[in-house]
Amino acid sequence: MGGDYKIQRFEKRLAQAWTEVDGEKFVGVTLKGHLANHNNADPFLMEF
Amino acid sequence: MKYINGRFYLEPISAHIDVTNKCNLKCIYCFYYEDPYVQLPDRDPSKDEILDWMEQLAEIGVKFLTFSGGEAFMRPDFLEILSSETSENFWKVILTNGILLDEQTVEELENVPKLLELRVSLDGFDANKKVRGVDAKVIIQNIDLIGKMTDLAVHINTMITTENLHELEKMYEWIEQHEAISGWAIDLPIVRGRYISAMNALRPSWSEMAPVLKRLILRYIDERPPFKLAIFSIFRESLLYPNKIKDRIYSFDLESHPCSYLPSVTIRTDGSVTLCPSLPFSIGNIRERPLRDILESPDPGSERVLRIRIRDIKKCSNCRYVKICGAGCRANAFLETGKLIEVDSITCKMMEFFESEILPHLPRKSRELIGEYLT
């Protein structure tokens, strides 16, 4: 199993998940949202 | 959720439900138990209650759902909840300690629709037993099972303590090789629950932590291994791919609410609704009135949290990092100082470290992108 497969598999699913969100309802995250990374913070928003 | 400078209203797209207070571990840094801020109820919500909460979340347009506890798999009916018709409305993540992921459970999980990943807590190899009270072999065996039996993605959640700092590089090598693990998040425990009394012994000094974290990050930048790494406030794998993130991120201004995760909402086992799992302020109770009402008209007193603006934290207003960190995390500030309107000194330290030790090693385009946010 190729190494990149692991990330691609996850990102493909994540991208599919985000297609269900109304673009009008969500415009992006802050750089802090990207960096904060608390283990119990929202995993979907962190991975956006 | 529209959440642009100076304007927000509560319209979550993501939610977190604590489905049980029960846990089969007694981690010495656990924020959930022995917490002075929250009185846990004697009983868990029923399955019907949780399904009703999920229905309400779906009705307001929530698409993502994270399940946690306690330990979610302690509920005998948890798999029924995951496989319910209501559950099909959401992409799902489960936060778990991994102990109960036996063969039958893993087999059933593979059939759960729209399950994005399992986030499994593991705090090292020898250290796991000391900190979490269970041999790491038990967890690793179950993660191996997931890799062999399914195509599910596993993400490892690690909390840094004095016990496991020396094991992080060994964990990196194990994660890199493991077929099921696609991500690793490293964080510090928050100052709630058992960690309040354990913190003095468990929290490494910054001078102990900084070189270890820097080594991990530089190694990751150099090797680009096949897993996504995230380290609290200082690194995320996506920073290596500026083209992927440049259209997704935007800056704070002083009129913004400081929280990055306002598009998310948390429901605790007693029905209380909070903005995140870390900040102990309820904006209403879903057992008392519908979620839609709570979000449109939060309980009196909620403005204490909802009306905060970055400009209120005066020491941050002129800081060169404010457009990146947005005055830090309100849960950190409150739990470390007892005040919501206060500097989050942990994030301050991380920002300085990020700029001096990590930023110079990022790709040129990433440095330019982030440089635009420094004032």
Contact at CB, A10 and B183, closer than 8 angstroms: yes
Both tokens of B202, joined, read 């468990």
* B91–A contact, CB cutoff 8 A: yes
**Residue among A30, A44, A47 minimizing CB distance to B251:** A30
- A to B CB pairs, distance under 8 Å: 166
Which burial class, exposed, middle or buried, applies to B64 when counting CB atoms under 10 A from its CB (0-12, 13-18, 19+)? buried
- Whole-number pLDDT of residue B208: 96
Strand duo B235-236 + B264-267: pairing: unpaired
Q: Say if residue A45's pLDDT is above 90.
A: no
Contact at CB, B179 and A6, closer than 8 angstroms: yes
Terminal CA-CA length for chain B: 27
Measured torsion, CA atoms of residues B24, B26, B30, B34, in degrees rounded to the nearest 10: 100
* Contact criterion met (CB below 8 Å) for B346 and B328: yes
**Per CATH, which fold does B10-244 belong to?**
TIM Barrel (3.20.20)
What are the phi and psi torsion angles at B93 (to 5°)? -125, 140
Distance from CA of B198 to the nearest CA of A (A): 19
Question: Would you list the DSSP string of B296-320?
Answer: HSPPTTTHHHHT--GGGSGGGTT-T
* Contact criterion met (CB below 8 Å) for B293 and B43: no
This prediction's pTM = 0.94
pLDDT in tens, B145-155: 999 999 999 99
Both tokens of B207, joined, read 């001078």
- Name the band, by pLDDT with cuts 50, 70 and 90, for residue A27: low
Strand duo B115-121 + B154-159: pairing: parallel
* B11–A contact, CB cutoff 8 A: yes
Closest residue in A to B234 (Cα–Cα):
A35
* B14–A contact, CB cutoff 8 A: yes
Query: In one letter, which amino acid is B128?
Result: N
- The interface predicted TM-score of the complex, written ipTM, equals 0.89
pLDDT (tens, 9 = 90+) of chain B, 375 residues, equals: 344 334 445 788 999 999 999 999 999 999 999 999 988 998 999 999 999 999 999 999 999 999 999 999 999 999 999 999 999 999 999 999 999 999 999 999 999 999 999 999 999 999 999 999 999 999 999 999 999 999 999 999 999 999 999 999 999 999 999 999 999 999 999 999 999 999 999 999 999 999 999 999 999 999 999 999 999 989 999 899 988 877 777 777 888 888 877 888 999 999 999 988 888 999 999 999 999 999 988 999 998 898 899 999 999 999 999 988 889 999 999 999 999 999 999 999 999 999 999 999 999 999 999 998 888
Nearest Cα neighbor of B89 from B62, B108, B49 is: B62
Distance from CA of A19 to the nearest CA of B (A): 10
Type and span of the H or E element at B364: helix B364-371
Q: How many CB atoms lie within 10 A of CB B30?
A: 21
Q: Which B residues, 282 through 321, put their C-beta within 8 Å of a C-beta on chain A?
A: none
- Whole-number pLDDT of residue A2: 54
Task: Report how far residue B322's alpha carbon sits from residue B343's, in angstroms, rounded to the nearest whole number.
Answer: 11
Check residue B43 and report its DSSP letter. S
**Residue among A6, A20, A33 minimizing CB distance to B260:** A33
- Whole-number pLDDT of residue A34: 72
Distance from CA of A34 to the nearest CA of B (A): 7
* B245–A contact, CB cutoff 8 A: yes
Task: Report how far residue B300's alpha carbon sits from residue B306's, in angstroms, rounded to the nearest whole number.
Answer: 11
- Whole-number pLDDT of residue B5: 38
- Most distant CA pair in chain A, distance: 38
**Residue among B1, B228, B260 minimizing CB distance to A32:** B260
Q: Which residues of chain B are within 8 Å of residue A24 when distances are taken between CB atoms?
A: 2
